[in-house]
Amino acid sequence: MESQVAVSKSIRNNSSYLSFVLAAEPRWIQDTWVSFPANEKLLGVAEYKWSRGESQRALNELCIVRKATKPGSYDWIQTILLESAILFSSGEYGRARSFASEVLYKCESQVESYSVATCRLRDIAHFLHGKIFMAQSEWAEAYSEFSQVVSAPEYNTRADQFMVITYEKSNKPNGEDSQSASTSQNESQLTLWI
């Protein structure tokens, strides 16, 4: 584990990593996760590795970070969500869904202390569920999940776009051959986003 920590420290000094984290605005990673500059200390190395296509190394980094955080804390839950996003992008939909569901359960169990932060975590989990359902062509379920993303502006905007696509897909009769130009355009966007 000490060698992994040393690797993480050396990555933080790498110039390409520095340009990655010095971005002033949030940015999407694989159209599934928003990387916020404010989360750099906690998630920066894992996000960087994942953005470079090093999913397993990103997961290893998350394991180290999670061990250093208090179970059930906001930071701990963020690591769970990022792991869900990485697993989704790796095609491990079942595991990704399980992690996102765990976050939803934690958020629902904190109803009395429902804060803006809790709402944000809940929204990200619903967004990830929506992406998973889209990838599995479960359009109505995806639409339902995206419709619950309301408190996280970056995710909400993208969820609204996905709702249009999933609504069209869920209402399209099976075997329908003719497509409108807008549906074709939305489907090409869908391919890019999944």
Burial class (CB in 10 A: 0-12, 13-18, 19+), 95: middle
Q: Domains of the chain: which residue ranges?
A: 26-171
CATH number of 26-171: 1.25.40
Where b means 16+ CB within 10 Å and e means fewer, 144-166 reads: bbbbbbebbebbeebbeebbebb
What is the predicted pLDDT for the residue at 190? Answer: 54
Per-residue pLDDT of the chain (194 residues; tens, 9 = 90+): 555 555 555 555 565 555 555 555 788 999 999 999 889 899 999 999 999 999 999 999 999 999 999 998 999 999 999 999 999 999 999 999 999 999 999 988 876 666 888 999 999 999 999 999 999 999 999 999 999 999 999 999 999 999 999 999 988 776 454 444 455 555 555 555 55
What is the predicted pLDDT for the residue at 177? Answer: 41
Instruction: Read off the pTM.
Output: 0.80
Alpha-helical regions (H) of the chain: 2-12, 15-21, 40-51, 55-67, 74-89, 93-108, 116-135, 139-147, 153-170, 181-193
- Contact indicator for 149, 127 with CB cutoff of 8 Å: yes
**C-alpha torsion 36→41→46→49, nearest 10:** 80
What is the predicted pLDDT for the residue at 109? Answer: 84
**Angle value at C-alpha 90, between 88 and 96, nearest 5 degrees:** 30
